[in-house]
Structure 1
Amino acid sequence: MPQHAVRRTARLRRLVASAVAPALLALLVLVQAPAAAAYPPDLPSKAVAQAELDALPVRAEGASAPYDRDLFPHWITVDGCTTRETVLQRDGDGVEVGSDCYPTTGSWYSEYDGETRTAPADIAIDHVVALAEAWYSGASEWTTARRQDFANDLTGPQLIAVTAEVNSSKSDKDPAEWVPPLASKRCAYAKMWIHTKARWDLTVDSAEKSALQPLLDGCSY
């Protein structure tokens, strides 16, 4: 091969290598990087949530006995951690725990009000569908074991770490009475509420369903 052709081929190889190497490196990082955890877990799409909302039985709230929070045993301990401690680890950033599983460091962003806290004592674990709400929407007919499962549900979007203040303001209100102060979080909140009620075969009352529909309409996906 002529010398000038050899030099041209070498230059071409260097150019290709300089162009391809960054792309290969980016691909390698992408492959090696851990996938972000779903947050909150099992959040449905708009279409799924709409189908679930349409299928939820509409019924006035009621129960054959008065509500008592002790009828929903929580927080239970699994593998050395309580459900509360598990959610604190799941929902926080840079969380480190002691031998008792309680966080010693970390920060928590509250999806309802946009506030961040660094002390776990300032964080509440909200039952998206409050225990009292569940009681009057069908849970009064459940066994204690099923109510315990509901109160400690880590599989669906029923538990979320938020500031104690916003959790107190929400209390046991349904979406006809309360929505997150952050308008950008109301779509996700509606999906969480609907999916939880659908997963647990709970009912909605007419005002609740009417409030949920425009929240869901505001979702882009």
Structure 2
Amino acid sequence: MTLTWAEFRRERRRSRQAWALLAAAALAVVAGLGWFFTVGQFAAVEPPAGGPSEAPVLATGWMDAVPSVRPVTRGPAAALLDTLPVKGRAAKDNYDRSAYGQAWLDVDRNGCDTRNDILRRDLSGAEFTEESQCRVAGGTFREPYTGRQLTFRRGSGSSKAVQIDHVVALGDAWQKGAQLLTPAQREHLANDPLNLIAVDGPANQDKSASDAATWLPPNKNFRCHYVARQISVKAAYRLWVTPAEKDAMKRVLASCPGQQTVVPETQ
């Protein structure tokens, strides 16, 4: 069958339109995949810019420092790190949380338990339950591990969204010297505001009992303070670090050579 010139031009135009539609569809697929792997389901979640770079230790007027095994002096965190013993991990098969005493004791004897003390210290606009000056009911804060703005609301399902993290995890401490402490010293370690920060629940679960060699806060702005705080806690309670842990801490502190130790403001 022979096409006329007009028919030939119509067929060629239709062919071009079909190819244009196929090209547009291909571009849409490529763009969709790009979104999926950069800001979609598989994307790494980056913390917001300007996340916290430090966290408080005490709140003047109603919180007191908890006596540690030894005082930590102000100075370069890297220098204090070099004073910590370097050893391997001790056994963990005999670890039990009860070795640190009852959870959230009122160690500083200010009339409020430690969990509520830390919530009151870290939350902005902390609200209290009716007829209580201790039991925190809600508040907001810029969470340090992720850098996100979070809201805490007390409740059977909502409270776990904000958790109180032991900066030096109790399981990690047990394998690095806490077994050698007295029961009273372990109670202090578990309730010392120096070792406690209110954080995002899922981030805390992700950290678990990790040390600096295996977990660091996603909020990179907070890492120098976080590592310096771990070093300060370990020095205060005569704990040691593993070789891998010390190397990880040194890498973090290399980016902030002026980072100081973290100590209660009363010291």
Q: Hey, what does 1:170 align to over in structure 2?
A: 207
Instruction: Give yes or no for the alignment of 1:114 onto 2:151.
Output: no
Amino acid at match of 1:62: A
- Segments of 5+ residues of structure 2 without an aligned counterpart are 1-53, 59-71, 154-158, 259-267
Distance 1:44 1:143, change over 3 A: closer
Instruction: Give yes or no for the alignment of 1:88 onto 2:119.
Output: yes
Structure number with bigger Rg: 2
1:199 positional shift: 1.1
How do 1:39-58 residues align onto structure 2 when only pairs under 5 Å count?
39-41=55-57, 47-58=75-86
1:220 positional shift: 5.4
State whether residues 87 and 241 of structure 2, in contact with CA within 8 Å, keep that contact through their aligned partners in structure 1: yes
Amino acid at match of 1:82: D
2-structure distance, mates of 1:41, 1:161: 11
2-structure distance, mates of 1:58, 1:133: 14
Bigger helix fraction = 1
Distance 1:64 1:110, change over 3 A: closer
Q: Which moved more, 1:192-201 or 1:60-69?
A: 60-69
Count of aligned residue pairs for this structure pair: 181
Instruction: Give yes or no for the alignment of 1:216 onto 2:253.
Output: yes
1-structure distance, mates of 2:104, 2:120: 15
Q: CA RMSD in A?
A: 2.1
1:39 positional shift: 3.4
Instruction: Give yes or no for the alignment of 1:137 onto 2:176.
Output: yes
- Segments of 5+ residues of structure 1 without an aligned counterpart are 1-37
How do 1:190-209 residues align onto structure 2 when only pairs under 5 Å count?
190-209=227-246
Amino acid at match of 2:149: T
1-structure distance, mates of 2:168, 2:92: 20
Distance 1:138 1:220, change over 3 A: closer
Q: Which runs of 4+ in 1 moved over 3 A?
A: 42-45
State whether residues 92 and 174 of structure 2, in contact with CA within 8 Å, keep that contact through their aligned partners in structure 1: no
Amino acid at match of 1:147: R
State whether residues 78 and 257 of structure 2, in contact with CA within 8 Å, keep that contact through their aligned partners in structure 1: no
